[in-house]
């Protein structure tokens, strides 16, 4: 549904008032730290108190950054974004304000670009039934020269595979995209680039990557009940290791009331681990594929000794000790929310999307370090990428709108999601707020995960530890996957080389 001009003006003014109140608050006494949220509602669906405009936290001035675009321009056109899943829509576009602080910010950010450049930004469903069909639709549209969209949103791995087909526009060729600005995180640029080319867009145009960032939640009440030390001080000292976390809970298992033998979802555990096991290697600084700084070539690194160590430690806590339990992500989140686990590694957005529905007193910390050789904490994450068809008739126009949406997302949506919702509402103590900042500073996208096509050992943890026959034989797993991994290196390298030479058909 297109926004009409009056609706845009009203909600832009309202949102600007909210943002203004936030920045004014930087010079005023700090307001309440945990404003009430109506029971059973979620901010991204419109939850939040009626007085939330006056209950903003102080914001750092890092969000007050101007872009390099013209002050205004009247294109008088419709800017169309193609998408597939409804659940991945409102992190970058909503068709009306719902009253929630996050949705309001998204609506305002989009509306600001619409007003500034005289466009209507619309999101159109591809009408397909799966992620694979969605990407095939994009490819077929481009191949036929009949694209009815300016930009498309894609699944991470499917989008990477699409980029290897030579049908996407190199973002580095678009002058309007100012990669020096903070809405283009440098680590993203490095991870998604190869041979000086970048085809997948991950910026502040969406908060999807931010909410999917890996983190560890812990149950403060259970830890206090059993005289366990909270991990905050170890994290702050830089000396919190995976072994510390696992050793502290490896014997922690209490059978539930159902009287069923063996581990069940009714029990209480030291740690529950979602079976998807996304982003584990990169969250410990393990690069399964590296880019040689001298030759620019891709170098396989699946034999990294630290990978063997990670698999062994994980296998021990899940299958050789009492304290670990692996289960689907919804079940793991429910168990943690019902005070049935001391730890859960899960994306940080769970605080805003999941745990507000439960009575659980939690703290948040980054993933621990794997060993002393690790110089910092890492927070692996995934994203849903925006891509531009190679047949784009006006890259300057598309670049202008994308840069503006990214800038407005950084100025309006990121503080609404990260500062107001995540930190102020759903982070429950001052040290966790510090931890959340640390996690954000540690975010990392993994080239191996994005471009590996499931060939570069990125699914190791799931395949070995969450299978019907779990095992820790990484050596055999590595060797079996090696031929496919080498073929994938050749495919990715050749595709980027051909695109660099301008051989797109």
CA-CA-CA-CA torsion for 105, 107, 108, 114, nearest 10 degrees? 150
Q: Is pLDDT at 471 greater than 50 in this prediction?
A: yes
Give dist(CA 431, CA 427) in Å, integer.
9
Nearest residue to 386 (alpha-carbon basis) of 95, 101, 188, 105: 188
Q: Where in the chain is the domain with CATH 3.40.190.10?
A: 5-33+74-207+384-430, 211-382+440-500
- Would you state the pLDDT for residue 500? 94
Strands 77-83 and 119-125, sheet pairing: parallel
Give dist(CA 107, CA 306) in Å, integer.
44
Q: How confident is the model at residue 55 (pLDDT cuts 50, 70, 90)?
A: low
**211-382+440-500 CATH pick, 3.20.20.70, 3.40.190.10, 2.40.70.10, 3.40.50.720:** 3.40.190.10
Q: Give per-residue pLDDT as tens, 428-438.
A: 899 999 999 99
Q: Give per-residue pLDDT as tens, 363-387.
A: 999 999 999 999 999 999 999 999 9
- Per-residue buried b or exposed e for 134-148, using 16+ beta carbons within 10 Å of the residue's own CB: bbebbbebbeeeebe
- Would you state the pLDDT for residue 502? 83
Give dist(CA 168, CA 189) in Å, integer.
17
Q: How confident is the model at residue 151 (pLDDT cuts 50, 70, 90)?
A: very high
pTM of the model: 0.88
332-350 mean pLDDT: 97
Query: Is pLDDT larger for residue 268 or for residue 97?
Result: 268
H-state helical runs in 226-304: 232-237, 242-249
Superfamily of domain 5-33+74-207+384-430: Periplasmic binding protein-like II (3.40.190.10)
Q: Give per-residue pLDDT as tens, 103-120.
A: 999 999 999 999 999 999
Q: Give per-residue pLDDT as tens, 172-204.
A: 999 999 999 999 999 999 999 999 999 999 999
Q: How many CA atoms lie within 13 A of 301 on its CB side?
A: 19
């Amino acid at each position: 549904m297109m926004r009409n001009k009056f609706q845009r003006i009203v909600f832009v003014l309202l949102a600007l008032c909210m943002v203004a109140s936030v920045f004014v608050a930087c010079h005023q006494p700090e307001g309440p730290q945990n404003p009430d949220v109506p029971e059973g509602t979620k901010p991204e669906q419109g939850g939040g108190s009626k007085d939330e405009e006056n209950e903003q936290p102080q914001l750092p001035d890092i969000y007050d950054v101007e872009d390099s675009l013209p002050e205004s321009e009247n294109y008088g056109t419709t800017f169309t974004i193609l998408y597939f899943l409804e659940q991945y829509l409102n992190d970058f576009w909503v068709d009306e304000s719902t009253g929630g602080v996050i949705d309001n910010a998204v609506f305002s950010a989009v509306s600001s670009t619409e007003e500034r450049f005289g466009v209507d930004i619309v999101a159109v469903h591809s009408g397909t039934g799966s992620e694979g069909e969605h990407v095939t639709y994009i490819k077929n549209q481009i191949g036929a020269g009949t694209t009815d969209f300016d930009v498309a949103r894609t699944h991470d791995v499917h989008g990477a595979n699409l980029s290897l087909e030579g049908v996407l526009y190199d973002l580095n060729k678009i002058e309007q995209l100012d990669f020096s600005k903070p809405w283009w995180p440098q680590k993203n640029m490095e991870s998604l680039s190869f041979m000086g080319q970048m085809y997948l867009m991950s910026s502040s145009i969406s908060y999807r990557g931010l909410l999917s960032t890996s983190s560890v939640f812990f149950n403060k009440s259970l830890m206090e009940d059993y005289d366990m030390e909270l991990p905050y001080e170890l994290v702050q000292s830089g000396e919190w290791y995976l072994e510390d976390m696992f050793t502290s809970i490896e014997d922690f298992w209490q059978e539930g009331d159902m009287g069923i033998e063996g581990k069940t979802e009714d029990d209480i555990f030291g740690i529950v681990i979602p079976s998807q096991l996304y982003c584990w290697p990169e969250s410990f600084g393990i690069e399964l594929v590296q880019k040689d700084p001298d030759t620019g070539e891709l170098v396989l690194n699946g034999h990294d000794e630290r990978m063997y160590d990670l698999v062994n430690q994980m296998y021990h806590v899940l299958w050789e000790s009492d304290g670990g339990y692996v289960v689907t992500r919804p079940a793991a989140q429910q168990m943690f929310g019902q005070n049935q686990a001391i730890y859960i590694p899960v994306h940080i957005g769970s605080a805003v999307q999941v745990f507000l529905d439960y009575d659980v007193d939690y703290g948040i910390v980054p993933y621990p370090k794997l060993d002393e050789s690790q110089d910092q904490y890492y927070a692996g994450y995934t994203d849903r990428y925006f891509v531009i068809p190679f047949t784009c008739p006006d890259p300057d126009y598309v670049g202008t709108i994308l840069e503006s949406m990214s800038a407005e997302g950084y100025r309006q949506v990121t503080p609404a999601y990260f500062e107001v919702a995540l930190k102020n509402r759903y982070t429950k103590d001052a040290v966790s707020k510090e931890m959340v900042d640390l996690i954000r500073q540690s975010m990392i996208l993994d080239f191996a995960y994005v471009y590996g096509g499931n060939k570069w050992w990125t699914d190791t943890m799931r395949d070995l530890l969450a299978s019907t026959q779990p095992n820790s034989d990484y050596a055999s797993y590595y060797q079996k996957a090696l031929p496919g991994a080498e073929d994938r290196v050749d495919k990715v390298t050749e595709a980027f080389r051909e695109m660099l030479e301008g051989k797109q058909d």
